[in-house]
Structure 1
Amino acid sequence: MSTVKDNIVFGGNYTPAGVLKHTSLGSYLLENIRGHGDDVLYIDALTGREYTAKEFYDRVIRMIYCLIRLNVKESDVVGLSSENCFDYIVVLFATFCVNATAAPFNVTYSEREFDHAINLSKPKVFFTSKGPAERVAKVARKNNYLKHVFIFDDVSSFKGVIPFAHLIDNPKIKSGADYQPKPTKVHDRVALIVCSSGTTGMPKGVQITQFNILSTIDTQMDPEAVNFGGIPVLSVIPWFHAFGCLTLIMCTCMGTQLIYLPKFEETVFLGAIEKYRVMLAFMVPPLMVFLAKHPIVDKYDLSSLVMLLSGAAPLSKETEDAIKARIGVPTIRQGYGLSEGTLSLTVQSDEKCKPGSVGVLRKGLYAKVIDTETGKPLGKNQRGELCFKGDCIMKGYIGDKNSTDAMIKNGWLHTGDIGFYDEDFEFFIVDRIKELIKYKAFQVPPAEIEALLLTHDKIKDVAVVGKPDESAGELPFAFVVKQNGANLTEQEVMDFVAANASSPKKLRGGVKFVNEIPKNASGKILRRVLREMLKRPKSKL
């Protein structure tokens, strides 16, 4: 039960599960996995291949010795960029066990984006799939700190890329051995570096510590928290995304039977729910819209579903009601969080939560709503910037003290989101200070697309905003000022971005040529004016 004192909300105490007694994340994970015995932990929904906890444990131990053979030491970084697959989980957990840092990367990154992101975390070794392999290999050849690149797929045609099987199946690697992770300073030791886009340009590296993860697991084990242990759960959320990665870790710790897919495909997704009698699925709003509206949904038996957990972007009450009416799922919950807060900060606790609410504060956390001008904490039903404090708050952005200091002040994470809490301590998001475009589950920084477009010799000025879209949330839309006398089409602008940026950054919302970009006296783009123009398409500049 949440309480408030001096306009600071406390989510309440939780019942500790003993997770925090461990001296490293790896020691907890190995002990936990051993405890699941011969239970099936993972099912590849494409192939039907099942993996037991014992099989997973043995594979992780073998992978630990592979990393040791590669001279991966405590605090070294291991890069990962792949669609969801079993060996991805193996490498991830083995990395934790040697107290190294895992750095997951978006598989759709362009070579330019990989170059930036890899140079943030500087991995010593890298594991990838066929899709991004060539782009990763090109970046690796330019950076001698990246010693080895391995590919999960049975492919050896990429220069400088080694098939994963050559490593994991090496007869010189110990078999049947065991391993005891070394104690470490869990509060300081970074377990994950996930890429989170900022408003000022290219991605930032969010450092999530072992303690951040251990404390999040501990609170999730609370009897009153949503627990998915021992039931069939479907995951199609990419594991390189913070939402996907952290829920993967949580499911493993709870002994969930996790059915996974490498990517979303309509018939495969629905077929997996039907075949494996999935009871809970991790979702994002575009997938929820698909369940609510697509005609193919009616061809499948989805009656096993008892709960859908939606995150990464707001979910409308209309979509939620449409799904309940169509397929009869009794419980739909959504939460609010960001990479900098490890997983979720608020979550809907039950069906009584109000429409539009993102739920109540997670246990063990503190929250306040502050006046954006004075910084003063505000009371109930007063709108201001949402700030959070607790054991889940990131260590900071790697190599970026200025951005870290701007985001975390006196232990409080300043989200940049505008919201309020009501008399029942339910939180609502109403606007955001940040200018990020929310495309599906991805955060798209307009400044990055603008910087890219300004390299085009026919473009004089540009501004990018999010165009509202029911299925995707928002679509990147560009207002472009041509160079004097330039001959440039909208399609050329869209093609230029598509050729030089990852898929979420494509200008799916469109392009509009204007005479000037509205700015304030200091030169800051007035995005509010541009968003109003999208609502009134006949407006001109």
Structure 2
Amino acid sequence: MDRYKSFGDQTVMIDAVSGIEYTGKFLYDSIVRLAQILQKLGIKHNDVVGLSSENSVNFAIAMFAGFAVGATVAPLNVTYSEREVDHAINLSHPKIIFASKITVDRIAKVAKQNKFVKAVIALSGSSTNHPKVYSFTDLMNSDKYKTKPDFTTPAANKTEDVALIVCSSGTTGLPKGVQLTQFNLLATIDSQIQPTMIPFNEITLLTVIPWFHAFGCLTLITTATMGTRLVYLPKFEETLFLSAIEKYRVMMAFMVPPLMVFLAKHPIVDKYDLSSLMVLLCGAAPLSRETEDQIKERIGVPFIRQGYGLSESTLSVLVQTDDYCKPGSVGVLKVGIYAKVVDPDTGKILGPNERGELCFKGDGIMKGYIGDSKSTQSAIRDGWLHTGDIGYFDDSLEFFIVDRIKELIKYKGFQVPPAEIEALLLTNDKIKDAAVIGKPDEEAGELPMAFVVKQPNTQLTAEDVINFVNERASPAKRLRGGVVFVDEIPKNPSGKILRRILRDMLKKQKSKL
């Protein structure tokens, strides 16, 4: 918050849709006022504030105001269905939820069913048909709330006080609430700030990564501390994305592989001047060397850097550098991070070029999953975060991801748990059994695909199944990979789905085409 104050009349944020530019002073003044309003609404140290919005200046103001009063901020995926919102807020128990125009009706409806939510604040627009819903604009402009021009944040226990609760998908079904402490965030920000040839306040950075996602949220927080000019989009739109790079002479952009494929292959890219781009930072899923080479050749961006991290590690624990960027690698350990590779069956520590489960220790590792000590103890053992991903390091200590123990489907940077979709499918009376895997896709990474066993003597089409899921799940969880009807789902003696066999079936199908 104080960093925004120090930037004064310098532009620190630009809405690439409207073209409105926001100064450090505007953000500081807005955060200070909202923080005092939150206190007057009863928000205290360690209370939880929910936030369901696409990228916007009001998202940033609400989040930093929450931090300022010592509250925990719990971002919510804007694509969540009512069922998913209900699950998420019953993990974090927010007293107040900020909601954008596209989510406010959904949030208000779920909030009405949960008494711990005292108010919903609509971030855009002033009129609403729901009780308990207040207008952000009206609150900020109201004479009812007298506020001072400065604000003192309450004392905090940085190692214990939770700053963020971000939703992380798990193989067991619905999302878990990852608790990231103030210390986690501060340590991660410190590790991100490395000396650069160009002063931070002269760098223009573009992000379209959702700020409700851990990757996007930490991007917002980190750039706020550096004075970087942050150009944002609420969602990816081809022409807006490209024109923003051209108009604002963007030097750096945070990316996910589907956006990289777009830059590499879409014909519209040639119509724009992207020569200002110096660095593309890619995370959330693996990026192929072919795509990287195509981008470098096409638009001449000199540096493409990959990294690896999880919500549970606050941000990246591995990142490529100028000296460590072998094809296919995700880089080397960041300062302050420790790693080991262990045999997933025996726990034996492995050496260079031996494949095993990646485990990490460091100041960014989460406090734990809220209200779920069992999952926390499974994930963090003796201080080491067990990622569930299989990889190795070479003789130069560069790391490579080769497979994963966890079954998460990576769709456009989102992590989709198959078990959640399977549980949903099994609520359909016409479905006897079901299994879901990720179908490889060049643009999206993976597409959720279902193998379905029908109940005897029932009429059920693939379209019926797809529509059933569409009506009940957020977009990332829809069966874009299709539906295959089978006689039975392959399982081991303990009943665990053998997804490897399903993937083999998919490969055989492709080879016949």
Matching of residue 45 in structure 1 with residue 16 in structure 2: yes
Distance 1:512 1:137, change over 3 A: same
Q: 2:473 aligns with which of 501, 510, 526?
A: 501
1:413-432 map, 5 Å: 413-432=385-404
Alpha carbons 2:126, 2:138 under 8 Å: kept: no
Deviation digits for residues 169-223 of structure 1, max 9, x if unmatched?
1113334521111221000000000000100000000000000001111222243
Matching of residue 303 in structure 1 with residue 281 in structure 2: no
Alpha carbons 1:533, 1:539 under 8 Å: kept: no
- Specify the alignment match of 2:166 in structure 1: 194
- Specify the alignment match of 1:102 in structure 2: 73
State the shift of 1:132 in Å. Answer: 1.5
Alpha carbons 1:216, 1:392 under 8 Å: kept: yes
* SS class of match (2:365): coil
Q: Distance in 2 between matches of 1:54 and 1:492?
A: 53
- Specify the alignment match of 2:55 in structure 1: 84
Alpha carbons 2:45, 2:154 under 8 Å: kept: no
Distance 1:55 1:539, change over 3 A: closer
Give 1:511's aligned amino acid.
V
Which structure would you say has the larger RCO, counting Cα contacts within 8 Å and 6 or more residues apart?
Answer: 1
- Specify the alignment match of 2:292 in structure 1: 320
1:346-365 map, 5 Å: 346-350=318-322, 352-365=324-337
Matching of residue 387 in structure 1 with residue 366 in structure 2: no
1:236-255 map, 5 Å: 236-255=208-227
Alpha carbons 1:219, 1:225 under 8 Å: kept: no
Q: Distance in 2 between matches of 1:91 and 1:277?
A: 28
Deviation digits for residues 311-367 of structure 1, max 9, x if unmatched?
101000000000111111111001000000001010001165110000000111100
Distance 1:435 1:225, change over 3 A: farther
1:142-221 map, 5 Å: 142-160=113-131, 161-221=133-193
* SS class of match (2:348): coil
State the shift of 1:165 in Å. Answer: 1.0
* 150-159 or 458-467: bigger deviation: 150-159
Q: Distance in 2 between matches of 1:485 and 1:479?
A: 18
Q: Distance in 2 between matches of 1:467 and 1:538?
A: 11
- Specify the alignment match of 2:108 in structure 1: 137
Alpha carbons 2:435, 2:452 under 8 Å: kept: yes
Q: 1:286 aligns with which of 247, 258, 266?
A: 258
Q: Distance in 1 between matches of 2:477 and 2:411?
A: 8
Distance 1:372 1:290, change over 3 A: same
* SS class of match (1:112): helix
Q: Distance in 1 between matches of 2:197 and 2:3?
A: 19
State the shift of 1:32 in Å. Answer: 2.2
Alpha carbons 2:126, 2:136 under 8 Å: kept: no
* SS class of match (1:271): helix
Deviation digits for residues 271-321 of structure 1, max 9, x if unmatched?
100000000011000000000011111111101000100110100000000
Matching of residue 517 in structure 1 with residue 495 in structure 2: no
Matching of residue 477 in structure 1 with residue 444 in structure 2: no
Q: Distance in 2 between matches of 1:209 and 1:117?
A: 18
- Specify the alignment match of 1:231 in structure 2: 203
* SS class of match (1:239): coil
Distance 1:180 1:478, change over 3 A: same
For normalisation by structure 1, the TM-score amounts to 0.93
Distance 1:322 1:538, change over 3 A: closer
State the shift of 1:155 in Å. Answer: 4.6
* 448-457 or 350-359: bigger deviation: 350-359
- Specify the alignment match of 1:63 in structure 2: 34
Q: How many residues align?
A: 511
Give 2:128's aligned amino acid.
S
Q: Distance in 2 between matches of 1:71 and 1:122?
A: 15
State the shift of 1:168 in Å. Answer: 1.4
Matching of residue 442 in structure 1 with residue 427 in structure 2: no
- Specify the alignment match of 1:13 in structure 2: none
- Specify the alignment match of 1:331 in structure 2: 303
Give 1:185's aligned amino acid.
N
Alpha carbons 1:230, 1:254 under 8 Å: kept: no
Q: Distance in 1 between matches of 2:295 and 2:418?
A: 32
Matching of residue 369 in structure 1 with residue 335 in structure 2: no
Q: Distance in 2 between matches of 1:433 and 1:59?
A: 45
* SS class of match (2:330): strand
- Specify the alignment match of 1:35 in structure 2: 6
Q: Distance in 1 between matches of 2:54 and 2:261?
A: 23
Matching of residue 111 in structure 1 with residue 88 in structure 2: no
Alpha carbons 1:130, 1:155 under 8 Å: kept: no
* SS class of match (2:297): helix
State the shift of 1:31 in Å. Answer: 2.9
Q: Distance in 2 between matches of 1:313 and 1:325?
A: 22
Q: Distance in 1 between matches of 2:438 and 2:231?
A: 33
Give 2:190's aligned amino acid.
D
Give 1:151's aligned amino acid.
A
Where structure 2 has 5 or more consecutive residues not aligned to the other structure, the ranges are: none
State the shift of 1:37 in Å. Answer: 2.3
State the shift of 1:130 in Å. Answer: 1.4
Q: Distance in 2 between matches of 1:357 and 1:141?
A: 48
Give 2:44's aligned amino acid.
K
Distance 1:352 1:206, change over 3 A: closer
Q: Distance in 1 between matches of 2:331 and 2:169?
A: 25
Give 2:493's aligned amino acid.
A
* SS class of match (1:500): coil
Alpha carbons 1:229, 1:251 under 8 Å: kept: no
* SS class of match (1:191): strand
State the shift of 1:106 in Å. Answer: 0.5
% identical aligned pairs: 65
Distance 1:225 1:457, change over 3 A: farther
Distance 1:515 1:286, change over 3 A: same
Where structure 1 has 5 or more consecutive residues not aligned to the other structure, the ranges are: 1-29
Give 1:397's aligned amino acid.
Y
Matching of residue 465 in structure 1 with residue 445 in structure 2: no
- Specify the alignment match of 1:125 in structure 2: 96
RMSD of the TM alignment (CA)?
1.5
Q: Distance in 1 between matches of 2:217 and 2:200?
A: 16
Alpha carbons 2:324, 2:398 under 8 Å: kept: no
Give 1:93's aligned amino acid.
F
* SS class of match (1:297): helix
Distance 1:227 1:139, change over 3 A: farther
* SS class of match (1:204): strand
Q: Distance in 2 between matches of 1:83 and 1:342?
A: 20
